[in-house]
């Protein structure tokens, strides 16, 4: 393993997916899947996301299209969150989802909109101030 590329990958992975997600992924790794977690961190996040040729926002848009085309909605949800964190606006997300629906098919578009609406609702709820228990 290239430790410099792994460290770059871990930083990029944290930037996009958040510390809590990465901490959980690495913490839950065991002898069986640890090599896979290391591969994902070094190869996907270090080699690919660590390349400065494309900015994270552009990589997020690419990932949304590719992951949607594969129908991997669990990963799609994760990358919707990352795309928003990387600066994609709600309007840009909507436009990307419409393009995904046209090129990948309406059923995929339905799934993608369902996932994106869930993420947007969760983020909106998380940004609301907590209710005063005295009220």
Alpha carbons 92 and 16: distance in angstroms, whole number: 17
Runs of H (alpha helix) within the chain:
3-17, 19-27, 34-39, 56-70, 73-85, 90-104, 106-127
What pTM value is reported for the model?
A: 0.86
Q: Where are the domains of the chain?
A: 1-53, 54-128
Which CATH entry fits the domain spanning 54-128: 1.20.1290.10, 1.10.8.60, 3.40.120.10, 3.40.50.720?
1.20.1290.10
Instruction: Assess contact for 69 and 104: CB atoms under 8 A.
Output: yes
List per-residue pLDDT tens for the chain, 135 residues long.
899 999 999 999 999 999 999 999 889 999 999 999 999 999 999 999 999 999 999 999 999 999 999 999 999 999 999 999 999 999 999 999 999 999 999 999 999 999 999 999 999 999 877 555 555
């Amino acid at each position: 393993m290239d430790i410099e590329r792994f460290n770059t990958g871990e930083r990029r992975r944290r930037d996009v997916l958040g510390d809590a997600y990465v901490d959980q992924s690495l913490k839950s790794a065991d002898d069986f899947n640890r090599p896979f977690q290391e591969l994902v961190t070094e190869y996907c996040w270090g080699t690919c996301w660590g390349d400065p040729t494309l900015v994270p926002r552009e990589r997020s848009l690419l990932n949304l299209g590719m992951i949607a085309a594969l129908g991997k909605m669990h990963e799609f949800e994760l990358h919707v969150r990352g795309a928003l964190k990387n600066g994609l606006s709600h309007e840009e997300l909507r436009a990307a989802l419409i393009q995904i629906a046209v090129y990948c098919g309406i059923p995929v578009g339905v799934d993608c909109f369902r996932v994106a609406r869930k993420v947007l609702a969760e983020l909106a709820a998380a940004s609301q101030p907590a209710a005063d228990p005295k009220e």
